[in-house]
Structure 1
């Protein structure tokens, strides 16, 4: 007879598969019905799992959505983490414009899910806090890039890199939500170019 510890890997694997099924079902249901109208019961039914099993993984639909948000925003964060070691102001400009363009293109690509996030941020205190934490993560990373440019004589040193980072992220976030809501009349490339020109003109000019 096998010891129970020897069965743990297969149980863990089944648990991971169940979690994936719930997340996939949640994504599908949220996109189909929106955040407010989606219920955890609908997600459980779509995932073909039991209530008890589902609540082992998630406290409710807010918790499940926050996990989906984390997965999507990790893709955005990969853009923020692109290597930033410019040797000239022009190189800094090129990297920043590329990041801005990729960031906004990702918003367009993930529009359906981002629409759900936008609704949830307005309706759920937990999701709203999650978004604020996510925002601060991006701002911290941007501030590091600005500090690098300041330390290497590329950017102005008479400005606070934390404050500038907040301004840069909020400008991008504004256009992100306009893209998500389909309320913009310009291409992503045009938005990224103009945003970058204004931003770099101020800090690198």
Structure 2
């Protein structure tokens, strides 16, 4: 291993150490009370080294947010090539159910994200970008269904995609806040049924 390789590896490990420390501090303190000083201290690295990797706590949270939301996005990326309305409904239900189950599994970190979205325009803009990525993917699936004669062609796939994501997002935040009054199964089944009945032929 060359000196350059060793430096690169050390840099990756330092960055990872700082992210792990940041996650612990965010979960313990919440977004507003958490400081980058606490994270640097917990990671046991120098201030100068830390600032080579991240400008501040918002930078750290963005990376943690991208990591969590990438796992959500894997659900949206599930292959969508239905041959019937029933098949489409089954896939959509699985996606909605997996999405809301993930919200339960990631509740603690999602609570930190929600706090940050409310007070940081930087984090809020990042969330909007993540949201648009989901909407584009959903719109693509709707367009596929329309082109294959499964869904109502007169509907604007972008508007429908936006509406479907916002429905899921509303229940995601209810789960994160512990405000949901029904099981994930009931919510996923109900919203999928309403959505597919309105969209599919």
Name structure 1 gaps, 5 residues minimum.
Answer: none
1:155 maps to which of 138, 151, 156: 151
Pick aligned residue for 1:189 from 185, 193, 198: 185
1:75 to 64, 68, 71: 71
1:12 to 2:12 alignment: no
What whole-Å deviation, never above 9, does each CA across 1:52-110 have from its counterpart, x for those lacking one? 11111111000100010000000000000000000111000000000000000000000
Paired position in structure 1 for 2:100: 104
Aligned residue runs from structure 1 range 35-184, under 5 A? 35-184=31-180
- Counterpart for residue 28 of structure 1: 24
1: distance between equivalents of 2:184 and 2:168?
11
Q: Distance in 1 between matches of 2:66 and 2:121?
A: 16
In the alignment, which residue of structure 2 is the partner of 1:204?
200
Please list every run of at least 4 consecutive aligned residues from structure 1 whose deviation after the TM superposition is greater than 3 angstroms.
Answer: none
**Cα offset for 1:187?**
0.5
Deviations 1:157-198 (A, max 9, x none): 010000000000000000000000000111000000000000
What count of residue pairs does the alignment treat as equivalent?
A: 201
Give the TM-score normalised by structure 1: 0.97
Across the aligned residues of Structure 1 and Structure 2, the Cα RMSD in angstroms comes to 0.9
Gaps of 5+ in 2: none
SS where residue 17 of structure 1 aligns?
helix
Q: Distance in 1 between matches of 2:48 and 2:100?
A: 39
Q: TM-score, normalised by structure 2?
A: 0.99
